[in-house]
Amino acid sequence: MNAAKRYEIFRRLREANPSPKTELEYTTPFELLISVLLSAQATDVGVNKATRRLYPVANTPAKILALGVDELMSYIQTIGLYKTKAKNVMATCQILLDKHGGEVPRTREELEELPGVGRKTANVVLNTAFGELAMAVDTHIFRVSNRTGIAPGKNVDIVEEKLMKFVPKEFLLDAHHWLILHGRYTCVARKPQCWNCIIADLCEFKGKTPTPANA
């Protein structure tokens, strides 16, 4: 795909949604971090239902630690893998208090030292909470990048590298949200809504979309 076509794709996505936001509900970087931790193999809708109950009671590392792991699990038990996630959240809160004064660190290296935080989660926090140019490649972004030809690659690392290189810089801050929303509601996995797609004439989809090797 040439640069002019990529530019037009993101220009249209911006025109349709000038201020894209994550669908996870949060008010602080810490709340976002915990919500993203909980969202692995779960829907944003499901995470939001749980955190609407949790955050009014405990939305800081100290308050979540004070709950204890069993009570934390009672708030998030509707989310998949909730037992493992609860343990990771508790361990993360302890590290935040011990090493970072209760604040969410602003570097990828420090974020990835937190239990349950991988590159994708770190990128979400860096981009969404702190306004850094970062690309968190989930299954939606992987699919859209490959299917359209914007940034094809056999695994999420390659797709991330290509997106960071090929997305015009003026769109890079919000590209993560545009691609996720496009993949979630239009360029869906089984039956993409090409008839309702604002970039259909620019898409280079010619066959089966690959499954990410390390998503």
Give 100-109's long-range contacts (Cβ < 8 A, gap of 24+). Answer: 102/60, 102/61, 102/62, 103/29, 103/30, 104/29, 104/30, 104/33, 104/129, 106/130, 106/132, 108/134
197 annotated as belonging to a binding site for a ligand: yes
Is 165 among the catalytic positions? no
Pair 168, 8: CB distance under 8 Å: no
Catalytic entry in 49, 87, 138, 154: 138
Distance (Å, whole) CA 205 – CA 22: 26
Annotated active-site residue 120? The verdict is yes
Q: How many Å separate Cα 137 from the centre of its chain? A: 7
> Among the options 21, 70, 83, 120, which is catalytic?
120
Q: Is 93 labelled as part of a ligand binding site? A: no
Distance CA 71, CA 184 (A): 32
- Residue 171 and residue 158: Cα distance in Å, rounded? 19
Q: Which residues are catalytic?
A: 120, 138
Annotated binding site: 187, 194, 197, 203
Annotated binding site for [4Fe-4S] cluster: 187, 194, 197, 203
